[in-house]
Chains A and B, each alone.
Chain A
Amino acid sequence: MMYKAFFNALTGAALLALAGAAAADDLVLEDAWLRAVPPVSPTMAGYFTLRNDGDQAVELIGAKTDIAGMAMLHDTETTDDGQARMVHLSGITLEPGDEATFAPGGKHLMLMKVDTIPEAGESVEICLTFRDREDLCGDFPVRREAP
């Protein structure tokens, strides 16, 4: 009996570990980078691609990083007459198979109240946050130009 209980517990732990690995793999963060800006800048913009390879919809709701007092999801909307406007995105839902692209001139991660602006060549860990789901963290290399 003892042996069986132990075995069950072990199996359960292994299954949990497997489930954890699957949960981590079904969201893929790629092409992440931060645009290098002058050290005097209070803000930075981050870009990435997020793909949902899982079978559940996910909702990206924000981001956090140690280097910034605040991080928000923004979109740059450009009107027909060439005016650009920043809008705050409260959440982005990715259905299974969906991909969200954050790129210059469009959706971007805006870091505000950045204490010390990292230089080109450095890398910053940023965690994307989701509704009812654990954070997804990744390294964002700082670059002067888009990759």
Chain B
Amino acid sequence: MTLLPALAGRLGLPGLLLALAACAEPPPELPVNTRLGGDFTLTDHRGEPFQLADQRGRVVLMFFGYTHCPDICPATLARVSQVYRNLKEAGDAERVQPLFITFDPRRDTPEHLSEYVPWFKANVIGLTGDEEQIRAVAEQYGVVYLQSADDGSGYDFTHSDYVYLLDQQGRVRKLYPSDFDIDEVIHDVQSLL
């Protein structure tokens, strides 16, 4: 009896209830991240307008990068594609949509993206826009990126490389590092279907 008030003092009553619930119940569902996210409109790799709100009813795996990036971006694309293909084998791909948003619209035009993203065979939609549009979306999702000076061999970006899990209402439910565990993401996606 002395333990519970002490714990309640530390955790607060909701925290205590959660802690008690955690003992008996399966893990709680993924929390909604209310500080990040929101609708946006960009241009897809077919040159058509793309609005995130049109993805309602689908779980979205979204990340940012650029096609001239040789290391992390293709690796992340490959891993997200693997998640998609595994979900497809499980019969769950219908309501899952991978999105790749470039922050290099100068080089990553719809034409360029249309030759890049289909190669991954995971129904990835490549998204681009003008620099202001992309910067606005990056801000909504807390993505930081900085273009380097062109040293003659081209330029690259310093950037955050999280992968975002959005639920069927377009709300951010989880962020993963780019070297995420494939089974964890599959499990999380399935929990939202």
Contacts and interface: CB of A to CB of B under 8 A. Distances in A.
Contact of B70 (A39, A40, A43, A82): A43
A82 B76 CA distance: 14
Interface in B65-82: 67-72, 74-75, 78, 82
A37 B160 contact: no
B153 A112 contact: yes
Interface in B131-156: 144, 148, 153-154, 156
Contacts of A85: 158-159
A36 B159 CA distance: 22
B71 A82 contact: no
A22 B104 CA distance: 48
Interface string A112-141: 110000000000000000000000000000
A35 B73 CA distance: 11
A55 interface: no
Contacts of B187: none
B73 to A, nearest CB: 9
Contacts of B56: none
A65 interface: no
A73 to B, nearest CB: 12
Interface stretch (B33-41, B47-55, B88-96, B112-120): B112-120
Contact of A112 (B71, B75, B120, B154): B154
B177 interface: yes
Interface residues of A, number: 30
Interface in A90-116: 104-105, 108, 110-113
Given A44-B70, A83-B158, A105-B72, A39 B115 contact: yes
Contact of A84 (B119, B148, B153, B161): B161
Contact of A76 (B72, B115, B116, B153): B72
A39 B119 contact: yes
Most chain A beta-carbon neighbours within 10 Å: one of B75, B156, B159, B178: B75
A70 B70 CA distance: 13
B74 A86 contact: no
A8 interface: no
B84 interface: no
B158 A45 contact: no
A110 B89 CA distance: 34
A83 B75 contact: no
B178 A105 contact: yes
Nearest to A110: B70
Interface in B148-193: 148, 153-154, 156, 158-162, 177-179
Nearest to A38: B119
Given A35-B74, A43-B68, A111-B70, A70 B153 contact: yes
A45 B70 contact: yes
B17 to A, nearest CB: 32
Given A41-B74, A105-B71, A108-B70, 16 more contacts: A35-B78, A37-B70, A37-B74, A39-B115, A40-B67, A70-B153, A83-B158, A84-B178, A85-B158, A86-B71, A86-B156, A104-B71, A105-B179, A112-B153, A113-B153, A145-B82
